[in-house]
Structure 1
Amino acid sequence: MSEKINLEFYFLDNSYEVIGNEPHIIIWGITRDGRRVLLRDRRFRPYFYAILKDKVNIEDLARKIRTYSDPKSPIIGVEPVEKKYFGRKVSALKIITMIPEYVRKYREKIKSLPEVLEVVEADIRFSIRYIIDHDLRPCGWHVAEVVEVPKKPIYRVDAEYEIIGDIKPLEQTLQPDLRIIAFDIEVYNKSGTPRPQTDPIIIIGIMNNNGDIKQFLANKYDDKISVEEFVNYVKTFDPDIIVGYNTDGFDWPYLIERSKYIGVKLDVTRRVGATPRTSTYGHISVPGRLNTDLYHFAEEIPEVKVKSLENVAEYLGVMKKSERVIIEYIDIPKYWDDEKLRPKLLQYNIDDVKSTYGLAEKFLPFAMQLSNITGLPLDQVGAASVGFRLEWYLMREAFRYGELVPNRVERAAESYRGAVVLKPVKGVHENIAVLDFSSMYPNIMIKYNVGPDTIVRNEKCNPDKHNIAPEVGHCFRKEPPGFFKRVLETLLRLRKQIKSEMKKYPPTSYEYRLLDERQKAVKVLANATYGYMGWIHARWYCRECAEAVTAWGRQTIKSAIELARKLGLKVIYGDTDSLFVTYDKDKVEKLIELIQTKLGFEIKIDKIYKRVFFTEAKKRYAGLLEDGRIDIVGFEAVRGDWAEIAKEVQEKVTEILLKENSIDKAIEYVRQVIADLKAGKIPLDKLIIWKTLSKRIEEYSVDAPHVVAAKKLIKAGIKVSTNDKIGYVILKGGGKISSRAEPYIFVKDPKLIDTEYYVDHQIVPAALRILNYFGVTETQLKRAAASAGQKSLFDFFGGKK
C-alpha cells in the first residue's frame, strides 16, 4: 500500500457504487495542483433509526431485529442511542446494514413492531447521508487522509485515492480554475414538436470558459457525426461543470433519446460507459460532472414573466434582444435548408450559447454558495425547490444537535392569516422613505422561540413560562432554546460574519463578490424558514407556528406605526415587513432607534422615493427612486398575461408622470403609440399575449383565446402540455375575439393584426390603470388632437404632497 498523505481537494460531487456487496462512496474532486481525482470511502454504511416506546426492553428488541437480517444485506449493527425528537429526549435504536437499497425494506418490517413508536431517517439518500454525517460542503475545499491506489480505467480522472482516515472541510473560499462549458442544441423539425426518433440534431453549439465557441453540425440531416463530435469534445475538454438553459427539460432528454436511436453512445461522463440519466428533483445527472440547468434559477426572477433565454439574458444585462438573432423554432428548417439563410441560423445558435454562458456567470456564484451551505451538490440545488434546499440545511443542523429528522407526511393544505397590509393613503407623495425590518420573521422566531419542538399543545399557556402569540393564542416554551431558534441564530450570525469579512476587500475583488453571493445564499435560507413551517411537504411542518409568526409580525408593524405617528411622521403605507413614511431625516433616525430599543427589532432605510403614487388598492403603487429608476408594483406592467406593448405603455406613462409631472405629456405619448400601431410600426413580438395552460385542453369548458391558440398548435403537430405558456396574437376578422387568436409563430404579416383589439383591450386599459386616477378618460386617449393646458399630478389631488 502506498504512503498515507493528507490530500486537499475541492469537492465537486459524490455518489456511490456497490462493489462485491460493499457500498463505496465515490467523491469527484480537484486537487490544489489542478488534477481531477476520485476519492473512494469503503467504510461508510447505510443506517436508520427506530424510536422506541416507553419501558421497552432494548436488548430483547435488538435481538428480535437482528433475526430479520437478510444475507444479501445483513444487519451489521443494532445500537442503542439517546437522541432528541422534536426537542424531546427519546431512546432509539440505530440499525445499520450493508446495501443502501435494503434500508427501506428493513424499515417496513421494523416500523410494524409493537415496541417501535416510529422509524425515521430511512429516506435520506446514502450519498447525501455521507455529506451530512461528515459535514462536507460541495463547492468547497476539504482535506482527507488517503492513500493513492491504482487508477481504474473506467474513471476519467488523473488519480484515484482511498480515504482511510478523517475527511473534513477547510475554511477557504477561493475556488480552483474550473472547466466550464455551455451548450445548446437546434433540432430540425417541419411538423410541430421535435421527435427524437425522426428529427435530427442539426447544430450543437458550445462555449467554454476560455471563450472558445464551437459548433458541431449535422451532414444535412445525418446527425450521427454532430453528436459524436459533441461526445468527443466533452471527453477531450473534460469540463467540471456543464451548463445549459432548460437542458433538464429539453436538450439532455432529447440527446439521450436521439443518441440511442442513431446508435451513438452518449459517453460524456467521467465514468466510462455511464450515460446521463434523470435523477433527483428531475435534474439530469452526468456522473463526475456538475450538470446545471440555469433555467431553474431564472424561474426565481418574478420580474421576467416569459422566461425565454433571450428575455432573461436581456433582463440581466447579458445580451440585448436587439443585438442578437432571434428565430422561431418552426422556422429552423427553412434556415437550415437554404444555404443563404443558414449563416443566420448558425449565428442564432452562437447567440444562444453566448447568452447561456453569460447567465452562468451571473447565476453560478450564488448557486455554488447555496450548494456549499445546504450540502446539496450543485446539479441538484437548482432543481430543488426553496423548501427542499432549506430542509437539507436543517437536516445537517439536526445531525449536529442530535435531533432526529422527522419523516415527510402527506397532508392536506391548511390556510392561515398572513401579514398585515395597510390601506395606502391614495395620491401622489413626495420624499417617502421605505423602512424595512431586517429579517423580521426569522427574528420573531428567535425572539419568541417559535418552532414545532417548542409549541405547547397539551397544557395551559402560562405567561411566565411561555411566549403567547397575539390574536391566535398559540404558546411556545421560553426555555430551552428550540431547534429553529438555534438554527436561525446560526444563520443570522453567519451572515453578519460574512458581511464583516466583506469589508476587508474592495467591492471589485473576487473575494468580495464571492462573499456577497454567500451572504445572499444565507439570507435566502433564513428568510425561507417561516414559510417552510407552513409548507405542507415540510418534515418540520407546523401550521400554528407559521400562524403565530404572522400574528407577531402584524403586532410589530402596528407598534412601529404607532411610534412613527407619535414622532409626527406620516405613515403612507405598510406591507408585511416594511413601512412607507414621510422622510424627515432626524425623525426617521429616531424611529429606527425606538424600534430597536422598544420593540427589539432592527429596521433600516431600504430606499427613498423622490415621488410615489398610490391608488387606494393595497400592493399597488409606482415610485421614482433617487437614481431615476422607476418601481412599479401591482399594475399590469408586472403581470404576465398582457402584451409587451401594454407593459411598455404603462411603464412609460408612469415614468412621464413621475419624472416630468405632466399628465398631458403622458396622454400625448399614448396617442402616439396608438398611431404607430395603426401605421404598422409596432413590431409583432410586442403584440404577443402569453397565457399559461393551467389544465389539460380537454378540461376547458370555455374556449378562451389561449385555449384556441393551443388547439391550433396541437393541430399543427406541436406538443402542448399543462403549465405551458401559450403565445398568441389577435387577428382581424369577424366573430369572437377567442376565435381570432392565432399562435404567434404562424403569423408573419403585421397587416393581419387587429389593431382595434390592441387599442381597446391592451394599450388603453393598461394606460388607464394609472391615468384614470388623474381623471383621464378613454375618449381623451383616443382623441387625435392634444387638449389645451398642461396639468400636473398635484392638480388632481388638491395640490397635496
Structure 2
Amino acid sequence: MTILKFYLLDVDSRFREGEAEVRLWGLTEDDRRVVLLDNTLKPYFYVVAEDVESLERRLRTIKDVKGFELKEARVFGKPVKAFKVYVLDPDKVDSTAEVVSKLEGCGGVYDDDLRHTQHYLLDYDVQPCGWHIVEVEPTDKEGIRVDEAYRLLKPPTAIEYQKSVTFRVLAFYMIPLPSKGSPKPERDKIACLAFRTSEGYAEVLNSEDVTERTLIEKFMDLIEKFNPDIIVGYGTNTRDWSYLSKRAEVNGLRLKVGKDGSEPHRSLYGHVSVAGRIALDLYDYAEDIADIKIKTLENLAAYLGVKVKEEPIEEYEISNLWSSRDGRRRVLDYASDRCKVIMECFREFIEYGCQLSNLVCIPLDHVCTAAVGFRVESYLMKCSRKFGELIPKRVEKPYQPYAGAIVLEPKPGLHENIAVLDFRSMYPSIMMKFNISPDTYVEPEAEVSLEDVYIAPEVGHKFLKKPDGFYREALKRLLEARAEINRRLKGLSPDSAEYRVLDARQKAIKVIANAMYGYAGWIGARWYRRPIAESTTAWGREALMETVNYAMKIGLPIIYGDTDSIFVKYDRERIEKLINYVSEKLGLEIKPETVYKRIIFTEAKKRYAGLLADGRIDITGLEAVRGDWPEVAKRIQREVIKVILETGSAKQALEEARKMLNEVEAGKVPIT
C-alpha cells in the first residue's frame, strides 16, 4: 500500500469487465502524472417509496436491479423513505429508473439523470482542482501516457493543502484555408497550426512547407511527447477540435490526443473532452464576462491587460493573403501571435478557473462552459449530500417574470466628493436573515401561524423561521469561508502564490453566493421556486429604499442608487450614522467602498465615470469600455472624460473633443 498526496484535474468513467470504473487524472506532490482507478461505487438511483412493502416486492422483479437498500431522506425539506437502487451498468440507470417509476408504490425517482462521475464526486466529496490523500497500490498502465497508474484501496480524502501546481500547458491556434465562403472541414485544408508550450517552445506548422497529413501528425507527436495536462485555445469547442478531427479523417488519420490514445469527443454538456487532459476554450471564459460585448480574443486580451501585437485578419482575407509570400508570412505571424496571446490570457484566468472548479465540483473544462445556474446548482448538489436532500429532476417550466432590483435615476452632471456605499452581500444576507429556501417556503394554501413565518414585502410570500433552510446553510458556508479568506489575505503579500490562490477563491465564492437567489427563479433549476427570487428582490428593494429615505432624513444627498449600492455626498459623520442605522434597523452591513474626487453622470442609468484619489479613472457602461465600439470613438471619449474629470471644465473637454475630431478628419488618427 502507498499513501500519496494527489491533485485531481479531471475525471471520467468506463464500463469494463462487468464493472463501472472511475478514472481520476491528476498529479502527485512530486509532479508525477498519474491515473487512479476505482470501481467501488456501484451505479444507482433513488426511488421514493409511498408504500415501502409494495415497492420492495416489485423491485425484486426488475431484471436490471442488482440490489437496493432503504434510506431516510428529504425532498424539498419533507422527510421521505427512499430506496437506493443499484444497477450494474451506468448506461442502464436511465432505462431501469423509467421502469421503476411506473411501479405501484413509487413516489418518484431521483438521481437517475446524474452521470456516474457526478455521483462519485458528490458521494465521496472528491474535489476537482483540489488536493487529496489517497491510499493506492500500483497497477498496469495499459499504455496510458502517465508516469504511474494506481488502483484506489478506498475513496480519496480531500485535504487543505496550499502547494501550488505547475501545469504542462499547450496553447494552439488553427487557421483553415477556405476555397470559397466560410471554411468547410470536408473540403478545405488547414493553412497553418501554431502552438506554444508553457515551457516556452513555439512553432507554426504550415501546409505549404509540409503536407496537411504531416502537419496533423506533428501536432499529435508534440502532444505525445510534451504530454500536456491542459490544451487551451480560443473557439476550440465550437470549431477547432471538430475541424481537426475531420481533417485527420480526410487524411486517413485518427486524432489520437487523449492520454489513453483516444480521440476528442463532444460531452453531454457541450464541451470537448480529451481523456486525461483538460481541453480549455477561453471563448467560454469571455462569454462569462458581461463587460466584453463582442467576444473576440482581442477584446478578452484587452480586458485582461494582455498585449496583442498583430492586427486582426478577417476570415475572408486568408485565401488572398495565402497566395503570396508576404501575405503568407503575415498569416503565420498572426497565428503565432494569437497563440502567444492565448497562453498569456490563460495565465490570467487559471487561478480563478481552478478555484471555481473546486468550489462547485465541476471539472475545469466543463465549468467554463456551464452557465451560472448550473454552477450554483452543482454547488447545491454538493451541499445536498450533507443535508440528506434528494436531487430533484430538471423539469420544463414556463418562464414567469418577476420584479428585479431597483435602480434610482441619477442626478446628471458633474459632482465632487462622492462616496459609494455598498451593501455587503446584500442578497445572500437577505436570504439568510429571512431563511429563504425551497424547503422553508410555505405554499399559499398551507395553514401556518404568522408568528412562525417571515412575510416578504409587496409579494406576500411566506417562509418558515425554523428550522434553518437548505439555502441558509449553503450560504452560511460560503460567506463564512469568504470572510476567513479575506482575513487571511490581510496577512499575505499580494505577490505571493498563496495570495493569488486565495483571492481567486474569494472571487469565485462571491459569484456563486450572489447568484443563488436568481438560480431559484431560473426555469432550468432543479430546486426551482420563483417565490424565492421574487421575495429576495422585494426585500432588497425595501432595504435600499429605507436606506435612501433615512439618508435623506439626516441630510445626506443621494446622487444615484443601483441594486445594492448608493452614491452619496461624502460626509464622514452622516455616513457613519447611516451605516449604524442599516446595521441596527435593517440587520444588514453597508460600508464605503469607493470615494470619487469627481464623478460625472449621464441621464441614463448605469452610465458614469469617476476620478479616484490615486488618479485612476473608473468608467462604467460608457462606450469607452464597450467592445462593440470602434477604437477611435472609445479613445476620444476616454480623453474627453479624462479632461473633464481632472479639470472640472466642460469647456476644456469640448476643446479636446474638437481637437481629436479634427485629427481624425485629417487622417492623422486611425479609425479602427
> Structure 1-normalised TM-score?
0.81
1:16-35 aligned at under 5 Å gives the runs 16-35=13-32
TM-fit CA distance, 1:250: 1.7
* Letter of the structure 2 residue corresponding to residue 43 of structure 1: T
Residue in 2 that maps onto 1:51:
48
Distance 2:410 2:165 in 1: 51
Give the counterpart letter for 1:336 in structure 2. Answer: W
1:372 and 1:296 mapped to 2: Cα distance?
18
Q: Quick check: 1:373 aligned with 2:359?
A: yes
Q: Which residue in the other structure is 1:536 paired with?
A: 523
Alpha-carbon deviation of 1:546? 0.7
Match of 1:134 in 2: 124
Please list the CA deviations of residues 137-186 of structure 1 after superposition, one character each: whole Å capped at 9, or x if unmatched.
11111122221122212x11122111122421111132332111111112
Could you list the per-position Cα deviations for residues 593-628 of structure 1 after superposition, in whole angstroms to 9, with x for gaps in the alignment? 332222211112121111222344433333223233
Unpaired runs of 5+ residues, structure 1, are 686-801
Matched-pair contact (CA < 8 Å) for 2:126–2:157: yes
Give the conservation status (yes or no) of the 8 Å contact 1:216–1:227: no
Partner in structure 1 of residue 78 of structure 2: 88
The residue type paired with residue 319 of structure 1 is K
Question: What residue is the counterpart of 2:153 in the other structure?
Answer: 164
Conserved in 2, the CA contact under 8 Å of 1:147 and 1:162? yes
In the alignment, is residue 402 of structure 1 matched against residue 396 of structure 2?
no
- The aligned residue for residue 279 of structure 1 is 267
Question: Residue 201 of structure 1 aligns with which residue?
Answer: 190
Q: Does 1:78 align with 2:72?
A: no
Shift of 1:657: 2.2
Distance 1:114 1:66 in 2: 13
Q: Distance in 2 between matches of 1:244 and 1:64?
A: 52
| Closer/same/farther in 2, CA of residues 642 and 158 from structure 1, 3 Å limit | closer
Please state if 1:620 is matched with 2:607. yes
Using the alignment, how far apart are the partners of 1:7 and 1:462 within structure 2?
55
1:120 is matched with which residue? 110
* Contact 2:54 2:104 (8 Å CA) reproduced: no
Displacement of 1:79 after TM fit? Answer: 1.2
What's the CA shift for 1:636?
4.4
Q: How does 1:623-772 map to 2 (within 5 A)?
A: 623-637=610-624, 642-685=629-672
Of 90, 108, 118, the residue aligned with 2:98 is 108
CA contact (8 A) 2:55 2:104 kept: no
Spell out, residue by residue over 1:618-650, the C-alpha distance to the aligned partner (whole angstroms, 9 max, x if none). 333332232333334444445665444334333
Shift of 1:205: 1.1
Please tell me whether residue 12 in structure 1 is matched to residue 1 in structure 2.
Answer: no
- Which segment drifts farther, 675-684 or 436-445? 675-684
* Aligned residue number for residue 296 of structure 1: 284
Q: What's 1:313 paired with?
A: 301
Percent sequence identity is: 43
For residue 171 of structure 2, what is the aligned residue in structure 1? 182
Question: Any residues of structure 2 matched to 1:351-750 within 5 Å, and which?
Answer: 351-457=337-443, 458-460=445-447, 462-637=449-624, 642-685=629-672
Change (3 A) 1:674 1:429: closer
Name the CA shift for 1:411/1:138 in 2 (closer, same or farther; >3 Å). Answer: same
Q: Report if the CA contact (8 A) 1:219-1:225 is conserved.
A: no
Q: Does 1:227 align with 2:213?
A: no
Letter in 1 for 2:213: K
Aligned 8 A contact 2:292 2:626 in 1: no
> Partner of 1:605: helix, strand, or coil?
strand
Partners of 2:449 and 2:618 in 1: how far apart? 46
The aligned counterpart of 2:227 is 238
Q: Which moved more, 1:250-259 or 1:590-599?
A: 590-599
2:182 aligns to what SS in structure 1?
coil
Corresponding residue of 2:331 = 345
* Residue type of the alignment partner of 2:48: I
Query: Is 1:249 equivalent to 2:238 in the alignment?
Result: yes
- Alpha-carbon distance between aligned partners in 2 of 1:658 and 1:533, rounded to the nearest angstrom: 42
How far 1:435 moved relative to its partner? 0.5
Q: Is the 8 A contact 2:55 2:103 kept in 1?
A: no
CA contact (8 A) 1:419 1:576 kept: yes
Distance (whole Å) between structure 2 residues aligned to residue 30 and residue 633 of structure 1: 42
Q: What is the distance in 2 between the residues matched to 1:175 and 1:657? A: 46
Residues 351 and 21 (structure 1), Cα distance of their counterparts in 2 relative to 1, 3 Å cut: same
- The alpha carbon displacement at 1:473 in A equals 0.8
- Which AA in structure 1 matches 2:263? T
What displacement does 1:83 show?
0.3
The answer for the alignment partner of 1:64 in structure 2 is 58
* Aligned residue identity for 1:567: I
1:519 shift after superposition:
0.8
Q: Which amino acid counterpart does residue 447 of structure 1 have in structure 2?
A: K
Contact 1:280 1:380 in 2 (8 A): no
> Which amino acid is the alignment partner of residue 39 of structure 2?
R
Aligned to 1:216: 205
Matched letter for residue 62 of structure 1: E
Report how many residues are paired. 671
SS at match of 1:417: coil
The Cα of 1:89 is off from its aligned counterpart by 0.5
Shift of 1:426: 3.4
Distance 1:326 1:616, change over 3 A: closer
The residue number in structure 2 matching 1:743 is none
Distance 1:220 1:189 in 2: 18
Q: How far has the Cα of 1:545 moved from its partner?
A: 1.0
Q: Secondary structure at the match of 2:337?
A: helix
Q: CA deviation at 1:521?
A: 0.8
What one-letter code is carried by the residue in structure 2 that aligns with 1:391?
Answer: E
Q: Look up the SS of the partner of 1:165 in the other structure.
A: coil
5+ long unaligned stretches in structure 2: none
Alignment partner of 1:281: what SS?
Answer: coil
1:206–1:215: 8 Å Cα contact kept in structure 2? Answer: yes
Tell me the secondary structure at the aligned position of residue 101 of structure 1: helix
Letter in 1 for 2:46: Y
The answer on whether the counterparts of 1:461 and 1:475 sit within 8 Å (CA) in structure 2 is no
**Equivalent-residue separation in structure 2 for 1:556 and 1:461 (angstroms):** 26
Determine the C-alpha separation between the residues in 1 that align with 2:660 and 2:487. Answer: 50
1:505–1:512 contact (8 Å) kept in structure 2: yes
Q: Contact conserved, 2:664 with 2:671, CA < 8 A, in 1?
A: no
Aligned-pair Cα RMSD in Å: 1.8
Quote the offset at 1:82 in angstroms: 0.7
State the structure with bigger RCO (CA 8 A, min sep 6), 1 or 2.
Answer: 2
Alpha-carbon distance, 1:220 to partner: 5.0
Tell whether the 8 Å contact from 1:374 to 1:393 is kept in structure 2 after alignment.
yes
State the AA in 2 paired with 1:400.
K
Contact 2:182 2:315 in 1 (8 A): no
Asked if residue 263 in structure 1 is aligned to residue 257 in structure 2, the reply is no
CA distance in 2 between partners of 1:281 and 1:106 (Å): 23
TM-score by length of 2: 0.96
